[in-house]
Structure 1
Amino acid sequence: MTRLKSLLAGTTSAAWLAAAVFAVSLSSASPVHAQQAMALPADPEPLVAVTAKGEVSFRIEVADEPGERAMGLMHRKDLADDQGMLFVFEQTQPVGFWMKNTPLPLDLVFVGPDGKVLDIQQGTPFSEAVIAPDEPARFVLELNAGTAAKTGIADGVMLKHRAITAAAGNPG
């Protein structure tokens, strides 16, 4: 009986030790994982802005899943002037963004279901202030700060992309 108690005590101690090591490994891994930027594949089709200056193309990543939209460009340290991220929502709705954990200054281009630019606002790195347009949006295009002005993207400009075309058939 004493031998059985010793065996059980040893097994229990080993189990607690294994659980403690596992918990420590999770806690030390989490901050590293949380600090990594999300890398979505570049969409094969460019997003095109039809401006008064002509058509301007952007290589974009499409964030159309809740987790992708939540992460966005957080922790991203660089973004080329011809790159951006298009956030696609299931329906036209009030949207709000913040810049927590985002080191890049950004233009946030709020877009209606038909692809028409509704509003453009600037995002300040690491700010937790809510950035939201006055009206509901279906899409948000994030670009490097100043890119919208440089390329002629303004309220009323039309954006073209397959995700926008698909939404036009389903305005939500």
Structure 2
Amino acid sequence: MLRKFGLPGGAISAAVICIFTFVAMLVPSSADDRAMVLPVDPAPLVAETSAGEHSFSIEIADDPQERSAGLMFRETMDDDHGMLFVFEQTQPVGFWMKNTPLPLDLIFIGQDGRVKEIHRGEPFSEAPIASQEEIRFVLELKQGTAQRVGVKEGDLVRHPTITRVMGAG
């Protein structure tokens, strides 16, 4: 029956194998291939702690799609790198660690730039990590970073994005 169309059976089998191979190459080979990577903001984020100031390079997630994806699927991240989530208004917020292989510190920040709460996020956990207060920003860093650099509740976090929101608030 295949010869009726002028194609020998072997040619069709080879074509099918080529198509499946091509499709397989399009599928990400690792979680990092599925990770959203935003541009690093040119301005560092600075945490003012009792031990001094500490700077971080950050990506900024400031729209619903970026906030939803966050650091999901990210398998590696530099020690002094993070993601700043910016919300349109001050509100209670909730996060989870679904599809997130990196253990994270979640630093909940008020509109005034002050750290309100610090939470630990465990890899792949679907347990909610909810703020007890109204929050305007969340900074995600590698787990243990907040303790390592001395970030505590009440500390000030500075970045032009936070300053702009403070001025508009």
Identity rate of aligned residues, in percent? 57
Please give the alpha-carbon distance, in whole angstroms, between the structure 2 residues aligned to 1:46 and 1:31: 34
Aligned partner (choices 106, 114, 117) of residue 116 of structure 1: 114
Please give the alpha-carbon distance, in whole angstroms, between the structure 1 residues aligned to 2:28 and 2:160: 35
**Which residue number corresponds to residue 156 of structure 2?**
158
The CA deviation at 1:170 is 2.2
**Which residue number corresponds to residue 98 of structure 1?**
96
**Which residue number corresponds to residue 74 of structure 1?**
72
Any gaps of 5 or more consecutive residues in structure 1? 1-23
**Number of corresponding residues:** 146
**Which residue number corresponds to residue 44 of structure 1?**
42
Please give the alpha-carbon distance, in whole angstroms, between the structure 1 residues aligned to 2:99 and 2:56: 24
* 3-state DSSP of counterpart to 2:146: helix
Matches within 5 A, 1:25-40: 32=28, 35=31, 36-40=34-38
Please give the alpha-carbon distance, in whole angstroms, between the structure 2 residues aligned to 1:114 and 1:30: 44
* 3-state DSSP of counterpart to 1:55: strand
TM-score (norm 1): 0.80
Please give the alpha-carbon distance, in whole angstroms, between the structure 2 residues aligned to 1:161 and 1:30: 38
Please give the alpha-carbon distance, in whole angstroms, between the structure 2 residues aligned to 1:154 and 1:81: 18
Please give the alpha-carbon distance, in whole angstroms, between the structure 2 residues aligned to 1:147 and 1:117: 14
**1:111-134 Cα deviation digits (max 9, x unpaired):** 000100000000000000000121
The CA deviation at 1:29 is 9.2
Please give the alpha-carbon distance, in whole angstroms, between the structure 1 residues aligned to 2:52 and 2:81: 18
TM-score (norm 2): 0.81
The CA deviation at 1:92 is 0.3
* 3-state DSSP of counterpart to 1:126: coil
1:136 aligns with 2:134: yes
Moved over 6 A (4+): 27-31
Please give the alpha-carbon distance, in whole angstroms, between the structure 1 residues aligned to 2:109 and 2:62: 15
**Which residue number corresponds to residue 58 of structure 2?**
60
Q: RMSD over aligned Cα, in angstroms?
A: 2.0
* 3-state DSSP of counterpart to 1:119: strand
The CA deviation at 1:28 is 7.6
**1:55-114 Cα deviation digits (max 9, x unpaired):** 100000000011000000000001111000000001101100000000000000000001
Any gaps of 5 or more consecutive residues in structure 2? 1-19
Letter in 1 for 2:85: F
* 3-state DSSP of counterpart to 2:162: helix
* 3-state DSSP of counterpart to 2:129: coil
